């Protein structure tokens, strides 16, 4: 994995996912391993973030590397008209690795084609969020003891949810049975469903969350991605379509966990937070260990 960019979850093999998860376990046991002293990592967030940016920056600091970058494009020379390509070419001269997020699908791939250092995609529009996917895999394995032969519900905005796309593709390597819950207008794109079909995996489609919740090991909730809609009225029609309330959890499997990449808006009632099924804040914590593992491997330090 040394010097290998991560733009789409399809860039890495199943064996590489498992290697990252195994190393993340080591970082969870001992997070402060200053193996990257002398390295500099850029954190370029052209689109807002809380978890991805801060967990990457925490990971970089815990590895002993330095972080440079911006969280607000208003403070970069993009405001003077500089292109993203020129920004990436320039920042490549200063650092050993670039972590970036952009609102345009394909931006991270383009960056990887012009950069002289590896790129990690922290989310590109509604396309992919591969590092979220790795921490989701880690969270699933940690809570279920395995990634194999699980029933997983993907709920909410399956059309625009980049975390959903990456996770559906990755889990199709593990003989998953998928339960796809969304309004009609937010179904999983055929370009993603293709990975499920190619492997002849079982999948079921629903519009109501209560039809899937009792059947699954993992209930992966997602926010309706308001910022991706061209017409706000279309968003208004679907924004309340898949909402999880504690009352829906009465007959779920005892080992079932609710995951969510966060941020949440209203799709998980806060009355779920105090149930034994809620795992979304621990999931966010796992992001630090997984990102430490990924950075260490790409920098050739492990």
How much is the CA Rg of the chain, to the nearest whole Å? 19
Of 190, 167, 47, 48, nearest to 105 by C-alpha is 47
- Whichever of 170 and 252 has its CB closer to ligand CP, that residue is 170
Tokens of 193: 């469903």
Binding mask 123-162 for ligand CP (x = CB under 6 A): x-----x--x------------------------------
| Nearest distance from C-beta of residue 45 to ligand CP, angstroms | 8
User: Binding to ligand CP by residue 286, rule CB under 6 A?
Assistant: no
User: Binding to ligand CP by residue 261, rule CB under 6 A?
Assistant: yes
Size of the residue set binding ligand CP (CB under 6 A)? 10
CB 9 within 8 Å of CB 170: yes
52 is a catalytic site residue? yes
User: Binding to ligand CP by residue 282, rule CB under 6 A?
Assistant: no
| DSSP one-letter code for 268 | B
Query: How deeply is 230 buried, as exposed, middle or buried, from its count of CB atoms within 10 A (0-12, 13-18, 19+)?
Result: exposed
Distances (CA, A) of 100 to 43, 49, 122, 171, 190: 6, 11, 5, 24, 27
Candidate ranges 47-55, 150-158, 192-200, 203-211; the one touching ligand CP (CB under 6 A):
47-55
User: Binding to ligand CP by residue 51, rule CB under 6 A?
Assistant: yes
Candidate ranges 50-58, 137-145, 215-223, 288-296; the one touching ligand CP (CB under 6 A):
50-58
| For residue 263, cis peptide bond before it (omega within 30 degrees of 0) | yes
- Whichever of 13 and 50 has its CB closer to ligand CP, that residue is 50
Of 223, 239, 253, nearest to 152 by C-alpha is 253
User: Binding to ligand CP by residue 52, rule CB under 6 A?
Assistant: yes
Q: Spot the catalytic one: 39, 53, 62, 101.
A: 101
Q: Phi-psi category of 270—alpha, beta or left, where left has phi over 0 and alpha has psi -120 to 50?
A: alpha
- Whichever of 24 and 252 has its CB closer to ligand CP, that residue is 24
Checking DSSP bridges between strand 257-259 and strand 119-124, what pairing results, if any? Answer: unpaired
Alpha-carbon span 4 to 110, nearest angstrom: 15
- Whichever of 51 and 291 has its CB closer to ligand CP, that residue is 51
| Nearest distance from C-beta of residue 247 to ligand CP, angstroms | 26
- Whichever of 252 and 258 has its CB closer to ligand CP, that residue is 258
Secondary structure of residue 31 in the 3-state scheme: coil
Judged by the rule CB under 6 A, the positions of this chain that interact with ligand CP are: 49-52, 123, 129, 132, 261-263
Catalytic residue annotation? 51-52, 80, 101, 129
């Amino acid at each position: 994995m040394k010097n290998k960019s991560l733009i789409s979850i399809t860039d890495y093999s199943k064996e590489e996912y498992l290697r990252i998860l195994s190393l993340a376990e080591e970082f969870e046991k001992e997070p402060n391993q200053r193996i990257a002293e002398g390295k500099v990592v850029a954190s370029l967030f052209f689109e807002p973030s809380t978890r991805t940016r801060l967990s990457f920056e925490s990971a970089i600091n815990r590895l002993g590397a330095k972080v440079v970058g911006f969280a607000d494009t208003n403070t970069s020379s993009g405001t003077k008209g500089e292109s993203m390509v020129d920004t990436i070419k320039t920042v490549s001269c200063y650092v050993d690795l670039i972590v970036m997020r952009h609102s345009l699908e394909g931006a991270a791939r383009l960056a990887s084609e012009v950069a002289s250092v590896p790129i990690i995609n922290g989310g590109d529009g509604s396309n992919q969020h591969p590092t979220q996917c790795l921490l989701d895999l880690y969270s699933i394995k940690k809570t279920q003891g395995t990634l194999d032969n699980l029933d997983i519900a993907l709920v909410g905005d399956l059309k625009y949810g980049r975390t959903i796309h990456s996770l559906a593709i990755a889990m199709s390597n593990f003989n998953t049975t998928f339960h796809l819950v969304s309004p009609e207008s937010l179904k999983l794109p055929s370009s993603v469903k293709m990975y499920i079909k190619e492997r002849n995996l079982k999948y079921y489609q629903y519009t109501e969350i209560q039809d899937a919740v009792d059947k699954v090991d993992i209930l992966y909730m997602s926010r309706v991605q308001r910022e991706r809609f061209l017409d706000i009225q279309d968003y208004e029609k679907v924004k309340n379509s898949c909402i999880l309330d504690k009352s829906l959890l009465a007959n779920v499997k005892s080992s079932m966990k609710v995951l969510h990449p966060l941020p949440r808006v209203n799709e998980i009632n806060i009355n779920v937070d105090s149930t034994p099924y809620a795992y979304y804040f621990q999931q966010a914590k796992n992001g630090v260990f997984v990102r430490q593992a990924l950075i260490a491997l790409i920098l050739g330090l492990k």
